[in-house]
Structure 1
Amino acid sequence: KKGYGMANLDYDIPITPQTVFRIASVSKQFTTFSVMLLVKEGKIHLDDDIRKYVPEMPDYEKIITIRHLIHHTSGIRDCYELFYLKGYTNFGMDFLTNKIIIDILSQQKVLMFLPGKGCSYTNSGYILLTIIIERVSGKKLRQFTEEFIFKPLGMAHTHFQDDRTIIVKNRATGYSQAFDGTYKINETNFHIVGDGGLFTTIDDFQLWEKNFYYPTVGDRKIFEQMITPGLLNNGNGAQEFGLDSAFGLFIGEYRGLKKISHGGAWVGFRSYMLRFPKYKLSIILFSNLAQLLRTELSRRIADIYLKDEFPKKELETVEKMSKLPTIETDESELQKFVGFYHDEKNGVIIEILIKNHNLHAVINESTYKLKLDAIEKSKFKSLGGDFPAIYEFQPLSDDGFKIVRFLPEPYGKETFNKLEKFEYSNELLKEYIGKYYSDEIDCYYTYQIEDYRLKLSINEKNPISLFLVKNDIFWDGYHMITFKRDHEKQVTEFIVNMWLAKGVQFTRE
């Protein structure tokens, strides 16, 4: 164990194994472990209807169980994306609590899919689990985990941060790196816990890992269940949805070895936990830089420690290709790749642009640009995200291109088709002008025309330009907006989709 870099740039305080980090979604396993302690005591059951404990939630067609919340199979939309749809665009500064989250979840009239029929990562489920733990135990999650987990294990510098005003000794400050290389403080005003919000140190987390292999808090039966993936209603796992979710943990393989893992990403913090249970090897990485390659670095460490143990001696194709040398490219040749590309299945849009003579990819209009380095004339590698990725520009019959993006297993490949520039007039855009309301998020969207562009204002604030994807479908960088027409072909409503919050309906006033 060792610290690298600075915990605080204002005072040049170095990172050590005693530095306290926010570990974001790596916190989720402590929420499910708390659930399992209550299950062991017979106070709750995994197949209980959640409305038994959270009656504020709507009475849907099919019941949602505690088990559904744990495995991301509830169909409940992600709460943070719902708040983004409400116009909360600065999560670092916006003030949110678990109570505020429950209020918006109780307004959701429909689910994205029937419970147990699909799988979609959702922080909402873990906030609901937190509410259940607190109501059943009579203790706040911070108090419950301190009393029954952290104190017995000697994790003296670990807690759920449910009050942002509390002073935490030796805590790291979160940072993001701008494209020009400068660092900015990136922190949050959240009081939300359960889906994240755990503060801990490498020294403390080492005690938790020891408890996984040699339980003194909990028992082997609990930990065996915690690493058992959930099943869908048809008896299959959720691999087809890109998730093999156990209890706040993901189960999979790396180079032929079983791995247990979970990552965390929130404001200026990145974390990753990677276990190889057969070898009792745990690799824990905590960082206070948003751009850190957490997964890539963790896997490189595994490559060193387990180099003689991997059944698959070759690296996975993507990781192998990401290590290939780059080649020189001519900017004039790169120009043909510039444009917008759309993955309709996942609702993701990539903008390809040239900056400083190199191709860059911008995902869903992020402020962060991923540099693409050429390894062949039409094939590029990116090392700037959570995973290494290969971008291959494949020619189409009409002289255009599509992007096939290759990611490490279990993510596979994604196809992005180029968006053509649609010609549209003010007369066409006038059909969409007006005010629309969603009672699921209690929010107004107003559309108007400005400079020959359709512009959207959320609750009359900060108009943003929309990009026409195809007839009646627009994109604003984060939302995919599909307008609906009645039998007279008049626009009456629209549906807005984000990655983890799909199908939110707005009706024209």
Structure 2
Amino acid sequence: MQTVPRRSLSAIALAIPLLLLSPPGAEATDSHLPGPDPSDPFALPADLGERFDAVLSEFDSDDAPGVVAAVVQGGRIAFQGAWGMANLSHRIPLTPETRINIGSTAKQFTAFAVALLAEEGRLSLDDDVRIHLPEVPDLGTPVTLRHLLTHTSGYREFINALAIGGWRIEDSDFVGREEALRVVQRQPELQNAPGAEWNYNNTGYLLLGMVVERVTGEPFPAWMEANVFAPLGMDDTVIREDPRQVVPGAAYGYRPLPEGGFRHGQDVGAAVGAGSVYTTLADMARWMENLSTGRHGGRTVLEAMTTPTVLTSGRTTTYGLGIEMDREGGLRRIHHPGGDIAHYSHFAWFPELEAGIIVVSNHGGFSSTIPAHLTRAAFGEAMAPESADAPAETMASGEPDGAGPSGPDAASAGTAGAATGGAEGSGAGPPPSPDRLVGRYALEAQPGFILTVREEGERLVAHGPGQPPFPLDPAGGSRFAIPALGAELTFHLEDGEAPAPRLVLHQGGDHVAHRLDDAPLALQDFVASYRSAEVENTLHVEVDEGALVVRQRRRDPVRLHHVDGDTFGGAFPLLQVTFHRDGEGRVTHLEASNVRARGIRFRRLDP
């Protein structure tokens, strides 16, 4: 085994992640786990250490947090290294043995626990959650444990809902389990029919942790230690039940500051079941080996975890129970990313190579593109060309970063199994006049996301809310490439010289967007204060310099842009605001949404 000594890091100026991380959903491929094939092991590069150093060269000082990484082959660590600092106050470096928070990568442990209890006959994955948690409200349609495990329940995601309520979780607002449970208890109706839609949801895994406690009669951390971690020899894995709990040998998490430097980032509260696991590279390697062998739990449990979810529409997603199955570089991949306020993790196993990679960082601005470069450094010789990989950044990510436009969660808008539109327009001939293409286009599946196409100098550029402009390269006729994102746009053009009424964004599917009418609005119709009993918050809508602005206690103002009718787009946590009128045309209430928490109603307060 190769071990690289500590390296360090220069600050990465990216947005701060708020949510426990979700994987990007996509169409499913065959997921059945093969057994190990040690007869033909993949040969790792002899210069693997140098390759990792090259990718992680920014992590090269003694005054910034960093990253630990390992390559696992045949169930053993073949290479590991540490770069950067575990504790800036006391100048303690990271080592491969440092415990670090892995965020949502821990969901597979909770899923394994529930599947194990099902295999033992102590519960059924198709149990109504209210059998075990009667305090959860009856919202008209049973929500099962399987719905919770597969992110198809229809419950609001508690972190996003609380953000609409004015909570600043990214600034270490403490959220206990009781407060998170109240989000479910105050929800008036399900956001979608159970099983009909995949929408990444930490609430489900919070509830699953509680189910394990009710079924076993033991605290979740204690039961997990005795029944999941100890049988695998994962002796350095700890569930941090409270963000204030001391974890010996753990790295602090840090958030980069805009002006330079760092500050402590407190773990997300109420994340037990959804995250809150501190572990080491060696323990995660032991877990990766179990995914291959099924030594603990057996093949039946692992098959259940790695069977793709089928929605009620018949569409199959790439998500199983707490883990995702897809392809990277042409290779089958079993994986899950993770992140919270000040940590990032990446766990990926490639069954065809009987090898995998583990990356964990205590830097809140760690770029989610780095693991792909490390994976290429380790396994590139066995992978297809990079063009076969899914793009690391997604223009149409509707819930950026969990809270911001460019961090680890940027490509995780919860689109698994979503229906897509067909490509339109011509791929041949010269490009049409820019006048027919420039404008604002709202995604059909997410109207609050506005794609702006404009001229910049002598070329066209496109960007989403809060994004930099991406140059468009003509690709024939009305089709344009976006090289920076590995995406394309196709404009639908009708007869004559009329502007394009819609376009299709080709990125992880075909996403139809319709041109917006920018006719003047009577903005004063919307000016008022609005109160939500569900999230116990008041929004004040004002007009400022010709646009609507939403102000509320404790969060920054959100400037709205018109989408269509009485619907406006904004910024997290108010990605979409839709006003509603009575029969006389008077605005009576609004609904606030941010993809994972949708349709939260605010009633207009009379002057």
| TM-score, normalised with respect to structure 2 | 0.69
Match of 1:120 in 2: 199
Match of 1:434 in 2: 528
Q: Give 1:340 deviation, angstroms.
A: 6.7
Q: Spell out the pairing of 1:270-419 with structure 2 (5 A cutoff).
A: 270-294=344-368, 297-298=371-372, 300-302=374-376, 304-305=378-379, 307-308=381-382, 310=383, 312=384, 315-316=387-388, 342-346=442-446, 347-349=448-450, 364-365=465-466, 372=470, 379-382=481-484, 389-390=486-487, 407=507, 411-414=508-511
Mapped to 2, the partners of 1:172 and 1:360 lie a distance apart of: 42
Q: Deviations over 1:109-145 (max 9, x none)?
A: 1112111122211111111111111122122221111
Residue among 274, 277, 282 paired with 1:203:
282
Q: Deviations over 1:194-248 (max 9, x none)?
A: 11111111122111112222334322221121111222234x3443xxxx21110
Query: What are the ranges of 5 or more consecutive residues in structure 2 without an aligned counterpart?
Result: 1-79, 395-433
Mapped to 1, the partners of 2:229 and 2:128 lie a distance apart of: 29
Q: Spell out the pairing of 1:151-170 with structure 2 (5 A cutoff).
A: 151-170=230-249
Mapped to 2, the partners of 1:2 and 1:303 lie a distance apart of: 14
Q: Cα distance 1:33–1:318, how it changes in 2: closer, same or farther (>3 A)?
A: closer
Match of 2:548 in 1: 454
CA contact (8 A) 1:389 1:406 kept: no
CA contact (8 A) 1:96 1:190 kept: yes
Q: Give 1:85 deviation, angstroms.
A: 0.9
Mapped to 2, the partners of 1:201 and 1:351 lie a distance apart of: 44
CA contact (8 A) 1:96 1:189 kept: no
| 3-state SS of 2:148 partner | helix
CA contact (8 A) 1:229 1:237 kept: no
Q: Cα distance 1:498–1:223, how it changes in 2: closer, same or farther (>3 A)?
A: same
Q: Deviations over 1:342-390 (max 9, x none)?
A: 43423434679999xx99998654xxx66857877975444xxxxx554
Residue among 260, 264, 269 paired with 2:334:
260
AA paired with 1:137?
A: T
Q: Give 1:88 deviation, angstroms.
A: 1.5
| 3-state SS of 2:301 partner | helix
Q: Give 1:480 deviation, angstroms.
A: 0.8
Q: Give 1:421 deviation, angstroms.
A: 5.5
CA contact (8 A) 2:267 2:340 kept: no
Residue among 116, 130, 155 paired with 1:37:
116
Residue among 580, 591, 594 paired with 1:495:
591
AA paired with 2:269?
A: H
Mapped to 2, the partners of 1:9 and 1:402 lie a distance apart of: 51
Match of 1:143 in 2: 222
| 3-state SS of 2:571 partner | coil
CA contact (8 A) 2:330 2:388 kept: no
Residue among 557, 564, 581 paired with 1:470:
564
AA paired with 2:161?
A: L
Mapped to 1, the partners of 2:89 and 2:167 lie a distance apart of: 28
Q: Deviations over 1:80-119 (max 9, x none)?
A: 1111110123423111022211111111111121111222
AA paired with 1:348?
A: F
Mapped to 2, the partners of 1:406 and 1:185 lie a distance apart of: 39
Match of 2:55 in 1: none
Residue among 245, 248, 266 paired with 2:322:
248
Q: Give 1:313 deviation, angstroms.
A: 5.7
CA contact (8 A) 1:422 1:470 kept: no
Q: Spell out the pairing of 1:85-104 with structure 2 (5 A cutoff).
A: 85-104=164-183
Mapped to 1, the partners of 2:558 and 2:177 lie a distance apart of: 29
Q: Give 1:473 deviation, angstroms.
A: 1.8
Structure 2 residue 582 is matched with structure 1 residue 486: yes
CA contact (8 A) 1:353 1:359 kept: yes
Q: Cα distance 1:281–1:345, how it changes in 2: closer, same or farther (>3 A)?
A: same
Query: What are the ranges of 5 or more consecutive residues in structure 1 without an aligned counterpart?
Result: 323-333, 383-387
Mapped to 1, the partners of 2:195 and 2:393 lie a distance apart of: 37
AA paired with 1:284?
A: I
CA RMSD of aligned residues (A): 3.7
Q: Cα distance 1:148–1:250, how it changes in 2: closer, same or farther (>3 A)?
A: same
Q: Give 1:300 deviation, angstroms.
A: 4.8
Number of positions where the alignment pairs a residue of Structure 1 with one of Structure 2: 475
CA contact (8 A) 1:94 1:189 kept: no
AA paired with 1:256?
A: G
Q: Give 1:53 deviation, angstroms.
A: 1.3
CA contact (8 A) 2:306 2:323 kept: yes
CA contact (8 A) 2:239 2:277 kept: yes
Mapped to 2, the partners of 1:304 and 1:22 lie a distance apart of: 24
| 3-state SS of 2:248 partner | coil
| 3-state SS of 2:530 partner | strand
Q: Give 1:264 deviation, angstroms.
A: 0.9
Bigger shift: 283-292 or 336-345? Answer: 336-345
Mapped to 1, the partners of 2:502 and 2:93 lie a distance apart of: 45
Match of 1:505 in 2: 601
Q: Cα distance 1:343–1:12, how it changes in 2: closer, same or farther (>3 A)?
A: farther
Mapped to 1, the partners of 2:597 and 2:224 lie a distance apart of: 30
Residue among 265, 281, 291 paired with 1:187:
265
Q: Cα distance 1:20–1:353, how it changes in 2: closer, same or farther (>3 A)?
A: farther
| 3-state SS of 1:191 partner | coil
AA paired with 2:591?
A: I
Mapped to 1, the partners of 2:207 and 2:166 lie a distance apart of: 23
Q: Which has the higher contact order (CA 8 A, sep 6+)?
A: 2
| 3-state SS of 1:455 partner | strand
Q: Cα distance 1:13–1:361, how it changes in 2: closer, same or farther (>3 A)?
A: farther
| 3-state SS of 2:196 partner | coil
Q: Cα distance 1:321–1:294, how it changes in 2: closer, same or farther (>3 A)?
A: closer
AA paired with 2:185?
A: S
CA contact (8 A) 1:161 1:191 kept: no
Q: Cα distance 1:507–1:95, how it changes in 2: closer, same or farther (>3 A)?
A: same
Q: Give 1:25 deviation, angstroms.
A: 0.8
